[in-house]
Chain A
Amino acid sequence: MQNKTLVYDGTFDGFLSAVFYVFEHKLEDVYLQNQFSSTERMFSEKEEILTENVKADRVWKGIQNKLGKSQSYKLYYAFLSEKNGVEDVLLNMIKYIFSDIPNVANDFSQASVLEISKIAKMVGREKHRMEAFVRFKLTKDGIYFSNIEPDFNVLPLISSHFKKRYADQKWLIYDIKRRFGLFYDLDKVDTITLYFPDDFDFTKTDENIFANQEFEFQKLWQDYFKSVNITSRKNMKLHIQHVPKRYWKYMSEKLN
């Protein structure tokens, strides 16, 4: 039998719909592929999968029943890594979950379980880092704005943290790489897309856009950051390990 490539729309529901399709048609030799992915597989028959929430929900509920809530989230985390081929590892794990072996979630002797757990851990780490490293800047129209550029698609994971924490201020966190953001309007968080001019510099605090006092607080924060350092204990290796350089360009204490 010729192998098949199922193309889904890039969403988690789309992915789960494709998984549903695999089980429904008892497909063996199959790949799952994001429609935006550029990988081409030779001699593979392509099939577009429609995203159907009902089917996606059934798969997700099934996984949750088998693994419990917190373990199932590992699969979602791993999915958000957007790593090349992660869908196929996930599919392997899901097949294993629905086999008859009990308590498979911690069976690290199974390659896909180990792999997913590793990827989920990386995504979890970046989620935590974004909760820490987001730097809001107050705009002239009273919105606390931040832009990020994470390796993984962690925006959906940090939404509730920021909603709980900043309930009394409007805020917007924008993912430059994936061109979408979260906007909280004092009531609910929405996913939005924004238009920025081509020459917009995300590392600068443009005085046409940001409030006057924004510059003062950035300066105070930079001063504070310098003052708390103890020169005789300087340890840049440790510093960079904690705050990897790729995040520096949007952290106000690192801009001067």
Chain B
Amino acid sequence: MSFERTQEKLKILADAAKYDVSCSSSGSKRANKNNGLGNASGMGICHSYTEDGRCVSLLKILLTNYCIFDCAYCVTRKSNDIKRAAFKVQEVVDLTINFYRRNYIEGLFLSSGIFKSADYTMERLVAVAKKLRLEENFNGYIHLKSIPGASDELMHEAGLYADRLSVNIEIPTESGLRRLAPDKKREDFIKPMLKIKNDIIENASEKKVIKSTPKFAPAGQSTQMIIGASGENDFQIMQTSNFFYKSYNLKRVYYSGYVPISYDSRLPQIGTDVPMLRENRLYQTDWLMRFYGFDVSEILNQNHQNLDLDIDPKLGWALRNLHEFPIDVNTADKRMLARIPGLGMKSVYKIINARRFRKLNWDHLKKIGIAFNRAKFFMVCDSNQFERRDLTAERIKGLILQNSTSKYQKTLSNQLNLFA
């Protein structure tokens, strides 16, 4: 491995991969086999954090940034005048192993621009994973990006060596995709997703019969959407997301606030702020769907197409549904407890455990760690002091905002900050 050459490639191909959000290395239990190198734990470990505060758990790189496609939102698009580079299969293997041995990373996240054809590219991605597993006896985490349009056979082989597979749908709506990525078709994403989904199901049922069946993509599949590049509203985004969770058993959908990278007139101009707060609200909604028992239509629907930026989506829902409150924490079921603003799932479980011993009052609840400032308007407990006033939704929102400081306050302010 020539150090200078690899160094140059790494700079180019890591830079190009950084817009991919996924860096999780959890959800896969892979033990170290035959005194080899590495293992994957269920939790995953973040080995470092970038200065923008995101975790670094995987060596996240592109195999190449040559690409035959011309997607407007992508730095790697063929019409972009940038330096191109491509790793050899062995170079990626060497980097992964040597970084891993020094405890820099949990594993590899390998994506790629599409050179020559989908299958040609996919074959090389699979070759890296295969080499790591079979020749290097590497048991760390591997996440491979599926190349849209790659054949079913290659997708299947990828699943035998990778922990997670993903294909980015990038643009939440079909019309947006047509406009910004004229070379891509939605079917090209759906096909590999469907193949992986079916193979995972098949693998699970085989495993029930024959225990030694090899693992197939044990950490499942995920996808990513770019937010704020193509003008869709939150309702459209979360509907798409919900569709993929339901129809393709995805483990995660990631939302990536668009970072302007080109002067293309179809896109937000360079210098436009990255919609970080909106991204955060979408993740909160995603959580409400997956862990809090909300149906997405309760939060976003025809009448309510965008999430509030000043309050979180659960509070927003509660204020639109005041008739459901107040909820008695000492009697309510888990589902309703989870709907009280200011109560996370951990608090919900603690409450359910603790109320077996005694009736809970405000003091107990504060110690458990609920966000009292929000929760107090929506619940009653074994204390006399609770909000008895008949407050309107507007008034409650006002009182909550008055007594809280959002870390996004700066972003929220409509005032121009002249003297910053």
Contact = CB atoms under 8 A, between A and B. Distances in A.
B367 to A, nearest CB: 7
A225 B50 contact: yes
A237 B102 CA distance: 27
On chain A, which size bracket covers the interface? 35 or more
A233 B95 contact: no
A111 B50 CA distance: 39
A91 to B, nearest CB: 25
A131 interface: yes
Interface string B83-103: 000000000000100110111
Q: Name, among B3, B95, B274, B367, the residue most crowded by chain A CB atoms within 10 Å (CB to CB).
A: B3
Interface in A91-135: 108, 128, 131-135
Contact of B52 (A128, A230, A253): A230
B32 interface: yes
A231 B7 CA distance: 21
Interface in A222-248: 223-225, 227-239, 241-243
Q: Name, among A135, A224, A239, the residue most crowded by chain B CB atoms within 10 Å (CB to CB).
A: A224
B46 interface: yes
A231 B50 CA distance: 10
B36 A238 contact: no
Interface stretch (B10-18, B302-310, B320-328): B10-18
A225 B52 CA distance: 11
Contacts of A239: 49-53
A167 B37 contact: yes
Nearest to A225: B48
Contacts of B103: 134-136, 146
A136 B102 CA distance: 4
Interface in A131-154: 131-138, 144, 146
A23 interface: no
Interface in B2-35: 3, 6-7, 10-11, 14-15, 17-19, 31-32, 35
Contacts of B17: 228
A220 interface: yes
A168 B137 contact: yes
Contacts of A223: 7, 10-11, 14
A188 interface: no
Interface in B142-175: none
Contact of A221 (B37, B104, B274): B104
A164 interface: yes
Contact of A217 (B19, B31, B45, B102): B102
Contacts of A108: 367
Given A131-B45, A165-B39, A217-B98, A227 B14 contact: yes
A138 B367 CA distance: 48
Contacts of B367: 108
B102 A236 contact: no
A132 B53 contact: no
Contacts of B14: 223-224, 227-228
A246 to B, nearest CB: 15
Interface residues of B, number: 43
B53 A235 contact: yes
> What's the dominant secondary structure at chain A's contact region?
helix
B47 A227 contact: no
A187 to B, nearest CB: 10
Given A168-B137, A243-B48, A233 B259 contact: yes
A161 B11 CA distance: 31
Contacts of B48: 132-133, 225, 243, 251, 253
Contact of A219 (B7, B38, B102): B7
Interface stretch (B55-63, B120-128, B236-244, B396-404): B55-63
A242 B36 contact: no
Contacts of B18: 227-230
Contacts of B51: 229, 234-236, 239
B276 interface: yes
Nearest to A173: B103
Contacts of B50: 225, 228-230, 239
B37 A166 contact: yes
A236 B52 CA distance: 7
Contacts of B95: 220
Contacts of B11: 223, 227
Contacts of A133: 47-48
Contacts of A168: 35-37, 137
A169 interface: yes
Given A167-B37, A168-B36, A216-B3, A144 B137 contact: no
A214 to B, nearest CB: 9
Contacts of A227: 10-11, 14-15, 18
Contact of B56 (A136, A137, A225, A230): A225
A247 to B, nearest CB: 10
A175 B367 CA distance: 36
B10 to A, nearest CB: 6
Nearest to A253: B48
Contacts of A213: 98
Contacts of A237: 53
B10 A224 contact: yes
Interface string B183-198: 0000000000000000
Contact of B102 (A135, A186, A234): A135
B49 A242 contact: yes
List the 10 closest A-B pairs by CB distance, nearest first: A238-B53, A233-B52, A227-B14, A242-B49, A235-B53, A229-B50, A167-B35, A227-B15, A136-B102, A228-B18
13 contacts: A128-B45, A138-B101, A216-B3, A219-B3, A220-B10, A221-B102, A223-B14, A224-B99, A227-B11, A228-B14, A228-B18, A234-B51, A237-B53
Interface of B: 3, 6-7, 10-11, 14-15, 17-19, 31-32, 35-39, 45-56, 59-60, 95, 98-99, 101-104, 137, 259, 274, 276, 367
Given A220-B99, A230-B54, 14 more contacts: A131-B45, A165-B38, A166-B37, A168-B35, A168-B36, A219-B3, A220-B6, A224-B14, A227-B10, A228-B60, A229-B51, A235-B52, A238-B49, A243-B48
